[in-house]
Amino acid sequence: MAVHDGHLDLDGLEAGAPGSAALTDRFGRPLHDLRISVTDRCNFRCQYCMPKEIFGPDFAFLPRNEILSFEEIERVARIAASLGVRKFRLTGGEPLLRAELPKLIEMISAIPDTEIALTTNATLLASQAEALATAGLDRVTVSLDSIDDAVFRSMNDMDFPVAMVLEGIDAATAAGLGPVKVNAVVRKGVNDHTLIDLARHFRGSDHIVRFIEFMDVGSTNGWRLDEVLPASELVALIDAEFPLEPVDPNYEGEVAQRYRYRDGAGEIGFITSVTQPFCGSCSRARISAEGQIYTCLFATEGSDLRSKLRDGTSDEELTTLLAGIWRARTDRYSELRSEATDELGERPRVEMSYIGG
């Protein structure tokens, strides 16, 4: 059964038909989330994701005909829902660069018993929030690495100001998409001196800031372990300024460790992908804008769904195919990385801007 080597083989896979026993991978993990990248393009050039030196004017982004259409995405989403997926997240690149995104949201939000979220840099959110909400979007996660304007402009490397992101958050809240989760990637020596100010800015609001350990995704971002500020140190840093206490997870498999301010000023989270991996409960599959399915953020190869979507393969066969891919899954990259950083650091991996985070 060839599933993780780029080839899809329909023979010998059992159907993961709805109504049959719950679909789980080799480690017993269910398929619960599907992250859908709707474009590989972005208006930012965050050094840790799309460094300018690589993603410059000559970089070959995917041509239009190689990107899944809304109909193709909706078909995959519907099939994934029949296999147990309950949550979709649209991502990218920058998902709000994809024309007519509300139309796709309308199509996906019609799938019963599922919810749909969006991760965005929010630069285009102010103008689109209302349409996204009307189309059926349930929630928004906004990336904002620093509240310090100079640091933020330098981190996105395209001189976008913090104010634009804050306007996006306000618009999303006004449109009923709040409270918003605000994700900040932490890089030692780059933005760690501005994190307390970020926490302070959102304290007292319902928005939840979540600090993410800088991850070794892709092969172009020059990741170094010594740039990772361990979440345990971050918790101590914030706790010293604003005392914290832990909160139980909302649900099994929640990636962020939750804390609340002891004075009642709200909640904050830490995503410990590097220092305390959470592969054991990882229930996420990812599909790239061109229709490659990945069962791990750190995969070296995906499985090509697009050709199957375009060659007359039936829904039933596609369901069997997806179920087989999930059943064969043994990914636990971050746990393995903790055990052997050097070896794993050498493998070519898909880029974050391509797979969508």
Would you tell me which residues interact with ligand SAM (CB under 6 A)? Answer: 42, 48-49, 91-92, 94, 119-121, 143, 183, 185, 212, 214-215, 217, 221, 352-353, 356-357
Distance CA(215)–CA(352), nearest Å, equals 10
Question: Within 13 Å, how many C-alpha atoms sit on residue 306's CB side?
Answer: 15
The smaller minimum CB distance to ligand SAM, of residues 221 and 292, is found at 221
Three-class DSSP category at 87: strand
List 182, 231, 235, 297, residue binding ligand SF4 (CB under 6 A): 297
The smaller minimum CB distance to ligand SAM, of residues 120 and 194, is found at 120
Question: Within 13 Å, how many C-alpha atoms sit on residue 55's CB side?
Answer: 27
End-to-end distance of the chain based on CA atoms, in angstroms? Answer: 27
List the single partner that 302 binds among ligand SF4, ligand SAM, none, CB under 5 to 8 Å by kind.
none
36 close to 77: Cβ distance less than 8 angstroms: yes
Query: 219: closest CA among 354, 89, 59?
Result: 354
Alpha carbon 235 to its chain's center: 22
The smaller minimum CB distance to ligand SF4, of residues 47 and 320, is found at 47
Our finding on whether 333 is near ligand SF4 (CB under 6 A) is: yes
The smaller minimum CB distance to ligand SF4, of residues 82 and 143, is found at 143
142 close to 183: Cβ distance less than 8 angstroms: yes
Distance CA(94)–CA(217), nearest Å, equals 17
The smaller minimum CB distance to ligand SF4, of residues 78 and 332, is found at 332
Distance CA(40)–CA(290), nearest Å, equals 9
The smaller minimum CB distance to ligand SF4, of residues 142 and 321, is found at 142
Our finding on whether 90 is near ligand SF4 (CB under 6 A) is: no
List the single partner that 282 binds among ligand SF4, ligand SAM, none, CB under 5 to 8 Å by kind.
ligand SF4
229 close to 195: Cβ distance less than 8 angstroms: no
- Smallest gap from Cβ 277 to ligand SF4, in A, equals 6
List the single partner that 270 binds among ligand SF4, ligand SAM, none, CB under 5 to 8 Å by kind.
none
Site string for ligand SF4, 50-79 (x = CB under 6 A): x-----------------------------
List 298, 318, 322, 354, residue binding ligand SF4 (CB under 6 A): 298
Residue whose Cβ sits closest to ligand SAM = 357
Q: Tokens 């965005």 — which residue?
A: 120
List the single partner that 120 binds among ligand SAM, ligand SF4, none, CB under 5 to 8 Å by kind.
ligand SAM
List the single partner that 212 binds among ligand SAM, ligand SF4, none, CB under 5 to 8 Å by kind.
ligand SAM
The smaller minimum CB distance to ligand SF4, of residues 96 and 107, is found at 96
- Let me know the angle formed at the C-alpha of 57 by 52 and 61, rounded to the nearest 5 degrees: 90
List 175, 325, 331, 350, residue binding ligand SF4 (CB under 6 A): 331
344 close to 213: Cβ distance less than 8 angstroms: no
The smaller minimum CB distance to ligand SAM, of residues 83 and 90, is found at 90
Distance CA(15)–CA(44), nearest Å, equals 41
- Let me know the angle formed at the C-alpha of 137 by 218 and 113, rounded to the nearest 5 degrees: 95
Distance CA(331)–CA(286), nearest Å, equals 13
Give the contacts of 185 (CB within 8 A, at least 6 positions apart): 46, 48, 143, 145, 191, 212, 214
Stretch that binds ligand SF4, among 43-51, 96-104, 164-172, 232-240 (CB under 6 A): 43-51
List 296, 309, 318, 325, residue binding ligand SF4 (CB under 6 A): 296
Contacting positions for ligand SF4 (CB under 6 A) = 42, 44-46, 49-50, 92-94, 121, 143, 277-279, 282, 296-298, 331-334, 352-353
